Structures are given as structure tokens and as C-alpha cells.
Structure 1
Amino acid sequence: MPYPTIPAALLLASAGPIPAPAADAAVLAAADTDIDDQAQGDVVVVTARRREEGVQDVPLAVSVLDSATLDQTGNNNIGRLQQLLPSFQFFSTNPRNSAANIRGLGAPFGLTNDGIEQGVGIYVDQVYFSRIAAATFDFVDVERIEVLRGPQGTLYGKNTTAGAIAITTRAPSFTAEGRGEISVGNLGFVQARGSVSGPLIADRLAASLAVSSTRRRGTIFNVRTQSRVNELDNLGLRAQFLLKATEAIEINLTGDYSRQDPNCCAQIYARVGRTQRPLNRQYDALAAAFGYRPPSTDPFDRLTDLDTPLRAFQELGGLSLRVTADVGPGELTSVTAWRYWNWGPSNDRDFTGLPITTVSANPSRQRQWTQEIRYASTGNNRIDYVIGLFGFHQTIHTDGLQVQGAAASRWLLNPASANANNPAVLAGLTSRNDIDFSNTSAAAFGQLTWRVTDRLRIQPGVRINHDRKTGSYVATVTTGSGSTVLNADQRSVLAPQSYRARFSDWNLSGDLTLSLDLAPDILSYATYARSFKSGGINLSGLPLDAANTPIQSAATVKPERVDHVEIGLKSQFFNRRLTLNLAAFQTAIRDYQATVINGQLGVLRGYLANAGKVRVRGIEADLAARPSARLSLYANVALTDARYVRFVDAPCPPELAGGSAATAASPAAPAGTPGGPSPANCDVSGQWLPGVSRLAASYGGEYRLPATLFGLSGEAYLGVDGNARSRFSSNPSRSVLTDVAGYALTNLRAGFRTDDQKWHLFVWVRNAFDTDYFELLATQPGNTGLVVGQPGDPRTYGLTLSSRF
């Protein structure tokens, strides 16, 4: 059945949508202006445990964001949620190469490898989206988002060792209604969204159609092409049909389509540091040899001269059929879905205006089929349970292409080589990659809640899963003249290789949660979870041995084994005007799947290997308060310690890489010693995991006053939303060159909304103080010392007008 409309994340919609990201909490107000009556408002409904219940009753760290919160804060896709949720991290160099992490865990930091799983599952209307690229699309007609923190393997599967993101869209309505919104801003920003819904057959069949379109000029100017890059160009469509077949059976058919085609994505000059490469093979000397200078050495001038066309075209879509039926004391649900994803990129992976790597693209086509059947019983006063079966199958085909340019020989080859000053040796050197992957997975699961007493509950859960994966990788390398006969220098840059790999395994995961009501509005809980992330296949090429043949032992990676403990407190005080939720946790992962960078000069992609053990522990606090009917406040804080416990053979940071191999007679030189020997690998035990700030926070509030505009009665408001995070590492092995400095961002908004919510007009400023900050940093392949960055958006501002009818 359709979910009931829920209020804003921290406040009831009837009191006005408040963009407070809220945390696990709650509802603090209702329409009546009397504060005591407000406190008795409706409850925020979630389906985190695959059944409807109040968010404060769920013994789980779950954050809830409604559509008004997302709209007013400009969080139009999953990638931007980290501005509201300090425990969430999102990194992306382009849509395919994106990673969503919760509490520092989820996906290896670096370029995407199609043969592995993500650790944060994305679900839209209960359908699993296996492509992380879905996170970069604009939301279309979203009702709410639930972000579940910590392992969710029992109910959500093997791809949720760090957490899950469950998105619920608006169900078709049996009352005719519509919504429209238009936003305009600087940088040519234009966003239009609209939806209509209503009955086709009274009380029997309803339908809805929603559209979203976003465009914005790029934030970086390419002086070579005289065009802007890193722009926005998004289109999304969603249609739904809801059939009430009988009083007990509902059928929901959904189709969606999304497309992006921006001039994107560029990382630009950030800084230069010293590596172990000989000095004449480091960036400054190489650039001088070509007479090359970047258009600016200040990355916040936002200039580049990339000489390869940029493109990040992708489209995804699918169909899903959800059937729910009241059967006995519970509800039977079947969710059948088919989805596809097409990716057509063009990248400049040398990050300069020189013709080093002139083509770097891995166009992909993915198809997936999923089927879930589950039964949720809530009819017993003492016992509730959920049991189910899940099946998944996907195929991926990628046609990779990499072409070296005229500057490649000088840039990539050792000057001692006779070919180093011969552009023809590497010019036109081409690798064509034919990559295939197939994955079939099946699982059975169950979770039970036993109410031992009116206050004490015990919740065990278990899931058994089987995975079968096959993959093949064929790289055919030809010279500029088309020959497949390569010399040693050519093979050192692009080596032909061919391999096939298989992975098959059973895994059992489970959890146990105890929850106790300490008082009517105070819930405590403790959880232990044993989870796993499926093993995988390396599909980005393998490291080569001394004979330049693939090292087959690196073709597969073992599953991650996760042990998680958490204690939490969910509480409301002062007649529910104050909500405070706390969680403390520790997650340990053995055989952590980490990105390792091959030492070969021309290799652009890393591969995966198992680190010994990592550990993440932390404390989270979510606070929401409404001191009066006119003022609401929120603050969410995450203190996280994420480290490698044991990783003795990790890739060395760039300042220790690029030199000759260290030996007992010639030991490794200090970091950043040009020409000094480099260790084969490094022990990074005890170092930070990449992408995780030790301290992150979001905070803000809104103040409202009764007002009249154009003869319409309503309220005027002023709101502020801020977020801050401390320094974090942007490299798999922490490097002095790629630490990203902490930063704080402030967003402002002011507007007017009518009492009946039919009209809403507001102005907004994001990054109001025009703070310069990096989303991430990366190094140029080959350890030249060049560090490139992705600057965060500058100050943006605009106006939004929305209407309901």
C-alpha cells in the first residue's frame, strides 16, 4: 500500500517544511500554534525494517530526509547528502568513478572496478540499484530518503556492509493533484520539476508522471577550447501506476528514465610535490622540457587547458512491478525489476594540456534483473517477523580504449632509454580492452522481533547468500602503425594481457539487537552484527610479473568479513520538543578490499587486493529542538576514527614511489628524494583510511513569522544550514601531497510560503562565504609529483518558486 505522506525531517509539514537533516529523530510540531499540542504531532514513518513504524521506535541509527528538506537545501542527488549527514561521504571524479561511504566504509577509494560490490546499497522503491552512478542523478518526485548507518546485511543484503540508502518516491494519488517548481540562479542554473497524479478509474487505478530537468554552466573554464567544463545537464522521467486490485491486493508498476550529457569531468592543477623519480623525470623538469605551463597554478582560478574532449554521457532506466497482498496476520510483497545503465565517457587522464594520453575511455553497458519475495507479520502481540528470498543477476560489457600521444615518450619513458626522445615510439600506442562480467546471486533471509516484556525486545536476524561471478579481460595493444609487435618500452606503458577469472562462495551473515524502553520516549539498544561483502574479480587489468604476464593470483579478491557492535539511545524530552539520539559503534573488517596502484609507468588504473584488517569506531549525536513555535534548530555531529589496523604490503604514497627498487645494499631513501630507491611496498598499519574526517558536523535552523504577500496569508522565514569537516586523506595510503584540508560551508535561504502550502517562494545562497575547498585530490599516473584536484562549487545563488495544485 502507498506510504503515508510524512512531515519534514525535523518538523511537521503542517508547521512548514524545515530543511533540517534530520537525524533519527523526529517530529516536534503540528499545525496548532500551542506548543503542547504541537508536541503530540504525527510520527515520522519509515520502513527501515521492511515494515512501517515510527523512526524513534527503530533500534537502528537511521536518518530521515523528506522532499522539502532536500529541495530547500539544494540536495538534489545522493552525492550532496554529505552536506546534511556528517556520517556520509561521497567522492566522484566522474559518475562511473564514484563512491558512497558511511562511517568511512563502503567502497575502495579510487577508480571503480566493475568486478566488486559497493558497501552502501542504494534502493529506490525497494529496488536495488547496483550502479553507484545512480547516485549522481537528480531525484525525481522523491517523498523521503532513509539513510541506515551500519551493516544492514540481514534485510538488505551483501552490498550493505556499511549501510543502506532507501529512497521512497511519491505514490500515485486517487485525488487529482499536481506540483511544479522552477529555480534559476547564477552560472546559468535552470532547474524545472513537475508532477501530476490522479485517478484513472475512481478508487481502483491511479497514475502519476514526474519530470525533472537541470542545466548549469561549468565551474571550470578550459582556455584551450574556450568552453566551460564540469557542467550540469540532467533529465529525469518517472511514471507510476497504482492498481487496487482488491481490498487486500495492490499492484504498483513503475518506469523511469534518466539521462546526463554534460561537458565533464575535469580535475585540475592543484600543486606539485617531490617523489622518488629522478629529478629530470619529475613534473617541473618534464614540463620545462616541453615549454609547458598550466594556465594557472592557483586551482581556485578554476582554469584548465585539457586537450582531450570531456564527456560524461550516461543513461539509466528500468521497470519494476511491486505487488503487496494482505495475507493472514501480515503482508506478502513481491518486487520484480529490470534495469539498465549505459556509459559513454571521454577523459583526459594525464590532467595536462600536453598530448600524453590522448584518449582514455571505458564505455560500458550494464543490465540487471532482481526478484524479491518477502512476508512481514505484525499480527502477534509478542512476535513480529520478516522472511524472504532474493535473486539478482547482472551482466556488464566494457569496451576500453587508451591511446598515447606525441608527448608520451618523453613523459613516461626513462631518459636513459634510447627511445625517450623519440615521440614515434609511443605516439599512437593503443590499448583496446574487451571486458565482460556476469554475476548471479541468491539469498534467503529472516528477522524476528520478540517482545519479551512490554519494554524489552530481542531481535535476531540471519541471511544466507550464494554468489557466482565470472569475468574476462582482454587487452590488445598496437603501435601507431597498427603492429602488435611491441618493444620493451612500449610494453612497459601498455602491455597486452588476457585472463579469465571465476569466483563462487556461500556466506552466512546475521545480527542480534536488544532494545529496552527506559521511559515512554527513551529507547536504548545494543547490536552485534556479523556481515560480509562479497569477493570479486579484478576487471581493470592485473599487475605483471618480470616477464610481463598477468599475475593470476591477483585476479580475485576475498570477501570482506565484518564484525560490528553498536549501542544507541533515542530520546525525546520536554513533550517531544527536544530530540537527542546518540550512537557509539566499532566496526572491524578483515580482508578489507583496498585499491593498490601498479608500479608500471603507464598504468592508469589500480587493482584490488585484500588488506589485513581495518577498524572504524566513533560516536554520533543528532539533536533537534523547537524552543518555540517560530524557531527550530538542529545539530548533527560525527566523531570517527578510521584506520588500517594491519596493512603491511600497501602501495607506497607518491612521495615514496617512482624510484629504483630498494635492496639491502641500497635501502629506500627518505620520502621525496629524487632518484632515491623506493620500497616495493609500505606498511601503513595505523594510518587513516582515505576519505574520512575525524570530525564532521551539520547544523542550522529556521525562524518563522506570520506574514502576508500579494494578499496571501502565510509565513516568512529565514534559514541557515552549515556543515564542516576536518582534514582527511585523499589517497589509499596517506600522503603529505594529497591530504585535503578541512573546511566549513554555510548556506542561507529566505522565503515565504502560504498557509495552505500551495505557493512557496524563496531565495538561496549556497557556499555563502565563497569558501575555497577541494572535494578530493589525486596524483598523476607515473609519480611525476603533479597533484590534481576537484574544487568544490563556488558561491551560487538563485530563486525558487514552487506551487501545488
Structure 2
Amino acid sequence: MKKSFSRAIAAAAFASSAMFVAQAAHAQASNEDTDIVPDPEGPTPAAGPVTQSTNANQIIVTARRREESLQNTPIAITAINAAMLENKNSLNIGDLQGEAPNLLITQQNSGAAAANLSIRGLTYADVEKSQEPTVGVVIDGVFIGTNTGQLLDFFDIEQIEVLRGPQGTLFGRNTIGGVINIRRTRPTFTTGLKAEASVARFGTYSGRAVVNFGIGDIIGVKPFFFYNESNGFYRDNETGDRRGGSKNYNYGVAIAVEPSSDFDLLMTVEKQEQDFEVVNPGISRTGEVICNFAPADQCNRNTTDDLYTVFGSPAFGTYSAPALTAEMNWDTGLVRLTSVTGWRKSSEDQQQDFDGTSVDLFFSNRVQSYKQFSQEIRAAGDLFDGFDYVVGGFYFNSDFSLQQFTRVFRFNDQLDVRDADTNPRSVNGATESYAVFGDFNWEVFDAVRLSFGGRWTKDRKSLSNGFLQTGLIGQGEATFDKFTPKVGVDWRPNPDMLLYASWSQGYRSGGFNPRAQTPETAALSFQPEIVDSYEVGAKLDMLNNTLQFNVAAFLSKYDGLQQNTTIPGGPQGNQTITSNVGSSTIKGIEADATWRPVTGLRLNATLGLLDAEFDDFIAGNLVGGVLVPFDYSANDPIYSPDVTASIGAQYSQPVSFGELVGTVGYRFIGEYDQQISLGPLSGDLVNGPVIVGGNDPRVRTDKQNLLDATLTANFMMGNTEAYISAFGRNLLDDRGTTAAFTVAGLFSFASAREPRTYGVTVGMDF
């Protein structure tokens, strides 16, 4: 009832706004900064009013909290503006995969709108909220503290910046892998409506609209409403029906207040909702416990085409996340002050049939609530000619609660899981973080800049672990702090070349184990991870500024690796905890290029080469109930393909009715593992050390060859810009896993990537 009421209120408010706009905008064209589907030549402002560059091919970024050209920014960064996303018919953050070197984004099946993010081989692939992501997603300046809710709709995006490597001196939360910085469009203060509707394969329908209007010259208002539904691309083996469907809503309003050129306020109130079915194709094999009970044809299945036929019981989930963001900027003349406030709350109720078979063997229901609040304050300016700075303070707190109901070997999928488990797992956790940071640029010589900065972070964490009826297992509380510096130098020998080198350190906090089953392990904290990253790079403008070519080489030393391990203890005889197990070395080369050889044609390419390996990785495993050391040093780190590459072209051609824009893109992603697991074993199999010769081959995704294409017709209907777009994704129908997991000889499951799909979009902008 509450959902229906809130949606009705949102729809009524939106409809009222739309009618007002339609009346006021008669015969008036929109003058927004970003057209619907233009040839993306020229800068897209990243935040607020920006002075446009005289070079039409430059993109202005604010990754370093300064407005500067992408080619003049001495860090590894990929910028993608609104026109690029819309011309490719991108849907959400997952479509960025392959657009930036060494970037992976896959959907996390065990969380609502959740993503597994990996940059340069650094990732966090779990659903627990007791640990921070290794790659931060920042939306309008606010860090999202959990991987849930990160698959953001792309319709209202102004620009995305992918920063590779540790980020601690500029962004609110410290991240060791990198940051995906997303800026949505600001209210335009002028009357306009941007709307589109799509229909695609697998019963997919979507409708999106953004309204803009002003109240005088001071207040700009932007209501928005997005809706998407799909029947899913899996097939039920018994009924032949589609499985894995979802319905998604995102609605709210952004209000900008600009009483003068020196002060502005932007506030966004929104809500994200999702109703979805969770599907886990089974990939268990003979020898795992599940296959002693499941029909023979449901075991030993492959991890490509077989994934798309499913046998498990229906499992459903709901997700609701209201959020508030407020940003204020005040330019005093000597210093620019910025305040960013973020509040977000989420409620999740998610079922999951983990065994993936028609026999009711392992079914769970996770009920969670999560809340975060953050406050960032920054000051930026010029201390003297040639010396600029950004300094700030950051506060973050979050808390979560989890109840997990489990139905194990009941052989009755009609039995409500909450009736089957009257003593569910109960976990409560909290985080409080303080930080101060600074970033400084000093032009010590003509064309030579020294960049330096640092961040001091203090995290306080607590967690209690137990069961609803039988009570507490154990609890822990600890404080972690770290200073992480950064030093860099860049040299511009001529206006078309930038050379740079840097060293930075990243930090990821320690914490406690929500899956611990004894008082000792529940009270035992794991320690922080530390990354030292060294990078050199060059940014080149060539062929009269029609060709931009960027290249970077990096080396990362990763210490204090946090990994899940299985040890003895608890009522089941074993338990999964997070431990600091060793170190690794990651090195690689990244390159990207954009070439505009003639008017209307844009060519782009990226290449990421990655060499990731463990220096040492020793963890304990159970052998006959005894803890034995296992050496995983020969295993591949997860989500670390050796090669990621892409090549694309976009061509726009004026025609009698308007303009045709064609886009084609090919992405290659090398094979990579998705879980640290047990492959071939050697050594002393009784007393240890046991040598693990790699991960289980079922958790390795195959090489991906992804081909996408879009053809868009732009035309005018009176004073209204309109377009019709036909698109195809994964045209080669490349099939395989996006996630795969094995569970201690009990069962294994996976999720599949979207097969070939196609559809049509129509839209308008006035």
C-alpha cells in the first residue's frame, strides 16, 4: 500500500509538472547544454556553469575538483559524456564495461541493483555490507557505501569519469581501486521536457522523462521519473516461461537555487525501487553433495548455453531506497567553499535458491536494512600565482541489520522459509569514519607542476553476530586509522603533450565477520588492505587536435589481502571468515585514443593489459575436520583479465529530414576468474601445505566478444527535437557467466550475461 501510494503521488506530481511545462513551452525550443543525440564534439560541463574550451574536441572534467581539460589532467581517467551514452543506447553503469581500460562491471546476482566493480584487478565481489567496495561509485558528489543500488539508469546523466588507481586526496571516501564519478544533469532554469520510450527483446519496456522549468531566474526545478520492466532472458525447463524478470522505478525532483553568480544550491530528493526474480543456474557437478539428490540432467552442465535453462524454485526480491543529496557552492572571491551532504536508506527482502535444482535443498531469504549519512566540506582556491589547492574534511556513518532465514534439505519448496527457520541468523553492524584531506598543485617551473597531497582516515567499526532466538554468538569493536600520501609531477614540453609520473597509496579499512559462528571469530577483526601504486603516463594531442592519444603504465603492490577462508568451528563444523592472507603485485599498460578525421566521424579505441598475481597467499582449509595450510599463490586473482580492448566508430550524416547517426562498437574481454577456489591439488594432502594449482575451472568466464550497434534518426517536429533509434546489443550472441561460485563441496551456482538483444527507442526534447 505504501509503495502504491508513493508512486501515485510521484506520478501525479510529475503529470502536473509535465502539463505545466507543455503549456508554457509551446513553440519554445530547449536550450540545454547537451542535445539528445548530437555528434559528441565539444565539451560537456561536469558541474555547474563551466567556461567552454576554445578547442571543440576537448572535454572538461572535474575529477580533481578543478575544472580542467581531460588532456591537461595528470591522472589515468576516461570521460564519457551524455551524447556518447545516448548514441550507444546505454542503459546503466554496466554498459561502461570495456569503455575504459582494465574496467569490469558485472551484475551481482545476490543483491538488488548491485554491481561487481573491478579496476586494475582490484575488486570486492560480495554482498555483505560489513566491508567497503574497492571501487567507489560517487553520484553527484556522494559516495555509495555498498555495492547495492549502483546499477544507475543512464538517461539523465551529464558526464561520467572513470578514475583508475587509488583515490584518497580528492573524494570523500578512500578507495584503493578507483572511482566512477557520475554527474547527473542540473536543472536548466528554462522550460523543457525530455522523454523517451523503448521496447526490446525479452518483454522489455521502459519509459523515462525529465521535466525542467524555472521559478523566476533564481530557482530551477527538474522532476524525473524512470521505469523499466523485463520478463528476463532465462527459460524455465518445466514450463518454458521466461524467468528472471524485474520492474524498476526511479523518481524524484532536483531543485537548483542560484540567487547570485557567487552562490548556488542543488538538492535532489529521489527514490529507487525494484521488484525482481533472482535466478541461479546450477553448475554443480558429480562429487558435490547436491548431486546426490538432484536429477542427473541437472548436474554437470556447462557454463555457456546451459546457463539459460533453469530448474530452481522461484525466488523473489524487493528493494527500496530513498535518498537525499544537497550540494552548496559559495565563491567568496579568495576561496570557493563546497558542502556536499548525502543521506541514503535502503530496505531489501531477497530470496535465493542457491542449489539451482528442482529439488528443494538450499533456499534462503535475506532481509536487510541499511542507512548511510555523509558530510563533506571542501575549500579550493589559489594560494598564489601558480599554486592551487583543495582541502577538506569528510564524515561518514552507516549501520545495517540483517536477518537470514534458511531452508535446508526440507524437500518442500511450498514451505515458507520463515516457517522453516524460526531462529534466523541476525547481524547488526555500524561504521563511523572521519577524514581530512588535501591536494595541491604547484607550478615550480614553467610547464612543470608538482602535485602532492594526503589523507588521514579514522574508521570505527562494530558488529554483533548471533541468532534471533538463541541469542548472541559474539561481537567486536575496533578502530583503524591510516595516513595515505600522494606525490606526482607533470611536464608539458609543448601545448600538445603532457607527461606525468605519480605515486599514491590506497587504504581499505578492516572490519569484522558477519558469517562467524564462534565467539572468538566473531570478536576477531581483520586488518586493513594497503596498496602502493606507481604510474607514468603521457597525453598527446596530434593531427591538429583531431587525435587524442593517452597511455599509462602502472605497478601496484597490494598488501594485507582480505579474503574469505573456511576454518573449523561452529555448529556445522566449519565457518567462513575474512582474513588477511598475503600480498600481490599487479602491473599493466593502458591506452585510449579518439580520432575525428573528418567532420561527423569519430573513431575511438581502448586497450588494457594486466598482469596480476599473488606474491603469497596462505590460508587454512578443513581436511577431515582439521585445519591444514593451503597455498593459493598459483591461483589467478579474480576479475583480472589479461586483456580488455574496444574499438568503435560513430558517423553522423545530414539528410533531408534531419540527421542520421550510426554507432558500432566491439569490446573484447579476456577470460578471468570470479572466485578464489580449489582447482588441482598437490603437495602434502594430509598435513599440508597443500598446493592449489589454480581456481576451479567453472568459475572462469570465457573470452567475450561483444558487438553493439545503433542507428538513430534525428528530426524536428515543429520546435521539438525528436529521434527514433534502433539498437542491438551483444549481436554475436556471446554467452557465458557474469558470476560463478562454488561452496565447499556442497553445491555451485552462477548467473549469465545477457544474450543477443535488440529494440527500438523513440524520444523527444523541447
Answer whether TM exceeds 0.5 for this pair.
yes
> 2:398 aligned to 394, 397, 409, which one?
394
> 1:363 aligned to 350, 360, 367, which one?
367
CA separation of 1:434 and 1:508: change in aligned 2, threshold 3 A: same
Runs ≥4 residues deviating over 3 A: 4-8, 223-227, 281-284, 290-293, 295-299, 427-431, 597-606, 659-662, 754-757
1:699 aligns with 2:647: yes
Q: Could you tell me which runs of 5 or more consecutive residues in structure 2 were left unpaired when the two chains were aligned.
A: 1-30, 47-51, 413-418, 678-694
| Contact preservation (8 Å) 2:138, 2:182 | yes
Distance 2:661 2:37 in 1: 15
1:194 aligns with 2:209: yes
SS at 1:139 equivalent? coil
Q: Residue 419 of structure 1 aligns with which residue?
A: none
- Pairing 1:726-745 to 2, within 5 Å after superposition: 726-733=670-677, 734-745=695-706
Distance 1:21 1:315 in 2: 35
1:253 aligns with 2:267: yes
1:176 aligns with 2:191: yes
Q: Residue 443 of structure 1 aligns with which residue?
A: 435
| Contact preservation (8 Å) 1:39, 1:576 | no
Distance 1:796 1:122 in 2: 27
> 1:552 aligned to 500, 518, 521, which one?
521
CA separation of 1:464 and 1:622: change in aligned 2, threshold 3 A: same
Q: Give the alignment's TM-score, normalised by structure 1.
A: 0.82
Distance 2:628 2:496 in 1: 57
- In the TM superposition, residue 297 of structure 1 has moved relative to its aligned partner by 3.8
Letter in 2 for 1:207: V
Letter in 1 for 2:489: L
Letter in 2 for 1:766: R
1:103 aligns with 2:120: yes
Distance 1:87 1:135 in 2: 19
CA RMSD, Structure 1 to Structure 2 (Å): 3.0
- In the TM superposition, residue 399 of structure 1 has moved relative to its aligned partner by 1.5
| Contact preservation (8 Å) 1:103, 1:640 | yes
Q: After superposition, give the CA deviation of every residue in 1:199-237 in whole Å (9 maximum; x if it has no partner).
A: 112x21111111111111111123457643222311111
Q: After superposition, give the CA deviation of every residue in 1:224-263 in whole Å (9 maximum; x if it has no partner).
A: 5764322231111131111123332111121111111012
CA separation of 1:342 and 1:604: change in aligned 2, threshold 3 A: farther
Distance 1:604 1:79 in 2: 36
| Contact preservation (8 Å) 1:295, 1:305 | no
CA separation of 1:5 and 1:441: change in aligned 2, threshold 3 A: farther
Distance 1:6 1:525 in 2: 32
> 1:660 aligned to 607, 620, 624, which one?
624
> 1:621 aligned to 588, 591, 601, which one?
591
| Contact preservation (8 Å) 1:357, 1:404 | yes
| Contact preservation (8 Å) 2:290, 2:355 | no
Kindly, what percent of the aligned residue pairs are identical? Answer: 25
Letter in 1 for 2:378: R
> 2:499 aligned to 519, 524, 531, which one?
524
- In the TM superposition, residue 429 of structure 1 has moved relative to its aligned partner by 6.1
1:499 aligns with 2:514: no
- In the TM superposition, residue 574 of structure 1 has moved relative to its aligned partner by 0.6
> 1:649 aligned to 607, 619, 631, which one?
619
Q: Residue 577 of structure 1 aligns with which residue?
A: 546
Q: Residue 422 of structure 1 aligns with which residue?
A: none
CA separation of 1:271 and 1:440: change in aligned 2, threshold 3 A: closer
- In the TM superposition, residue 561 of structure 1 has moved relative to its aligned partner by 1.4
Q: Residue 124 of structure 1 aligns with which residue?
A: 139
Letter in 2 for 1:354: V
> 2:285 aligned to 272, 276, 281, which one?
272
- In the TM superposition, residue 686 of structure 1 has moved relative to its aligned partner by 4.2
Distance 1:139 1:7 in 2: 14
Q: After superposition, give the CA deviation of every residue in 1:435-455 in whole Å (9 maximum; x if it has no partner).
A: 111111111111110011230
Distance 1:541 1:330 in 2: 49
Letter in 2 for 1:642: A
SS at 2:170 equivalent? helix
Q: Residue 34 of structure 1 aligns with which residue?
A: none
Distance 1:258 1:364 in 2: 16
> 1:515 aligned to 465, 490, 500, which one?
490
> 1:312 aligned to 312, 317, 320, which one?
317
Q: Residue 631 of structure 1 aligns with which residue?
A: 601
Q: Residue 79 of structure 1 aligns with which residue?
A: 94
- Pairing 1:138-537 to 2, within 5 Å after superposition: 138-139=153-154, 141-201=156-216, 203-223=217-237, 227-263=241-277, 265-270=278-283, 272=285, 282=289, 284=291, 286-287=292-293, 291=295, 293-294=297-298, 297=301, 300-301=305-306, 302-307=308-313, 309-358=314-363, 360-378=364-382, 380-407=384-411, 428=420, 431-475=423-467, 498-537=473-512
Distance 2:359 2:193 in 1: 52
- In the TM superposition, residue 760 of structure 1 has moved relative to its aligned partner by 2.0
Q: Residue 682 of structure 2 aligns with which residue?
A: none
- In the TM superposition, residue 368 of structure 1 has moved relative to its aligned partner by 1.2
Distance 1:604 1:84 in 2: 42
| Contact preservation (8 Å) 1:77, 1:135 | no
Distance 1:497 1:220 in 2: 40
CA separation of 1:160 and 1:622: change in aligned 2, threshold 3 A: same
1:16 aligns with 2:39: yes
Distance 2:351 2:239 in 1: 15
Letter in 2 for 1:153: G
| Contact preservation (8 Å) 2:43, 2:59 | no
Distance 2:629 2:89 in 1: 43
- In the TM superposition, residue 407 of structure 1 has moved relative to its aligned partner by 4.8
| Contact preservation (8 Å) 1:635, 1:697 | yes
Distance 2:463 2:396 in 1: 17
Q: Give the alignment's TM-score, normalised by structure 2.
A: 0.86
Q: Residue 764 of structure 1 aligns with which residue?
A: 727
SS at 1:556 equivalent? coil
Distance 1:471 1:270 in 2: 33
- In the TM superposition, residue 161 of structure 1 has moved relative to its aligned partner by 0.9
- In the TM superposition, residue 14 of structure 1 has moved relative to its aligned partner by 9.1
SS at 2:353 equivalent? coil
SS at 2:298 equivalent? coil
CA separation of 1:453 and 1:796: change in aligned 2, threshold 3 A: same
1:776 aligns with 2:751: no
